[in-house]
Amino acid sequence: MSFVSHVECTVCGARHDHRRPLTVCEKCGQMLAVRYDLDRAAASVTKEQLATRQAGMYRFRELTPLDADEPPVTLGEGGTPLLPLPRLAAHLGLGRLWAKDEGQNPTGTFKARGLGMAITRARTLGATGFVIPSAGNAGGAAAVYAARAGLPVVVIVPRGTPPAAIAEAQIAGAHVFTLEGSIATAGKVCAKVAPLLRWFDLSTLKEPYRLEGKKTMGLELAEQLDWRMPDVLLYPTGGGTGLVGIPKGYDELRGMKWIGGTFPKFFAVQAEGCAPVVKGFVEGAETTTAWENPTTHAAGLRVPSPFAGRQMLTLLRESGGGAVAVSETEIQDAQRLVARVEGIWTAPEAAALVAALQRLRDARTVTRDAEIVLVFTGAGIKNDPPPLGSPTDLTGSDEEIVDQVRRAVGR
């Protein structure tokens, strides 16, 4: 038996039966969330028992929506390291800084968690195929887990999506389509196509289980910081599943009395070319409004109208955090900086966090004594690198070549 008590609407509270396939609230059309019997979960496992379990997303079995005998569709996702960043912290004049390195997941991004969980549940509940609109990485992950489940999938991405994510979906046998526009345009096509194909629509937060996968980042973070929460947490925000998911994980651990204290200050980080959450936050809006002409090379941040705008803005305000937009140049500079000082070639979306952190430090919103976690959502290798110049090409005699190397390194 699972520890799920029910699924409820995050806006109107309507209860839904979790034993059948679910999308959005049947009453008001808003986002659903899985709720657990946390007392029973707490009585079933101890922290000591947890510590003996295998690493990975299903380590926290009591807080996943799987039935007791439900086999996960898995490639070993989760269990990513929380890396201390002492050299970057020193460079920035900050104290305690960590990155949750989600680039070490299968598929090279945190999308593996959400799609692994959603496809597991959908398959159990009878799905025979899938449809997903994506900025790239989610489509790649959906394709990979659908292949692992032996089921077909349609992936629709905007033109200009990073080629590695498209190739990842194609090589896994997905039906891949590109179109003019953004993930929002792709989402509209998926909403029309899914009922015709009778395949399940995996759009961000339009079913309740991707969130349960992303939530495991929060569960792991709590365990990795010895059952504390950091003071500040920065998250690169597109659709916002992780931003909603991490505090959901913390909340549930609080309900189990495994952690106490206050939430971190959550900061949503976006690109200046597509910043609906930052705009909504600055304007004090209740929810986000669609961003016209979204442009950024950080494809995962190119989400003009996130479905969970309302939930994200509430979280940012209630936690005392905020929202920051950074420029394309800042993102590229940060990507090179993180690789040079810590050896992590992180995705542009994740590098945006470092650029935002510099701004928060300059504004003294974040101080030296704060414990800070950056969620590095993906590996840089899935994207074109930032401009790096050409490597020096060695020519001439052996002696001349040796001389060129010595002159270039200055020794």
- In whole angstroms, what is the distance from residue 19 CA to residue 9 CA? 16
Considering the rule CB under 5 A, would residue 15 count as an interface residue with Zn ion? no
We find the least distance from the C-beta atom of residue 24 to Zn ion, in angstroms, to be 8
- In whole angstroms, what is the distance from residue 268 CA to residue 47 CA? 30
Q: What DSSP state is assigned to residue 109?
A: B
> 153 or 256, CB closer to ligand PLP?
153
We find the least distance from the C-beta atom of residue 17 to ligand PLP, in angstroms, to be 27
We find the least distance from the C-beta atom of residue 29 to Zn ion, in angstroms, to be 7
Structure-block tokens of residue 159: 């033109």
We find the least distance from the C-beta atom of residue 361 to ligand PLP, in angstroms, to be 22
We find the least distance from the C-beta atom of residue 25 to Zn ion, in angstroms, to be 3
Within 198-297, residue ranges assigned H as helices are 209-224, 241-255, 276-282
Considering the rule CB under 5 A, would residue 14 count as an interface residue with Zn ion? yes
Task: Output the residue with the shortest Cβ distance to ligand PLP.
Answer: 300
Neighbours of 76 (CB within 10 A): 14
Considering the rule CB under 5 A, would residue 290 count as an interface residue with Zn ion? no
* CA 261-264-265 angle, 5° bins: 135
Give me the residues paired with residue 269 across strands: 236, 324
Residues 27-46 that bind Zn ion (CB under 5 A): 27-28, 30
Partner from ligand PLP, Zn ion, none contacting 28, C-beta within 5 to 8 A by type: Zn ion
> 23 or 367, CB closer to Zn ion?
23
Closest residue by Cα to residue 234 from 359, 49, 60? 359
How many residues bind Zn ion (CB under 5 A)? The answer is 8
> 138 or 146, CB closer to ligand PLP?
138
Give me Rg for the CA atoms of the chain. Answer: 21
> 5 or 185, CB closer to Zn ion?
5
- Rama region for 136: left / alpha / beta (φ>0; ψ in -120 to 50; rest): left
Question: Where along the sequence are the contacts to Zn ion (CB under 5 A)?
Answer: 9, 11-12, 14, 25, 27-28, 30
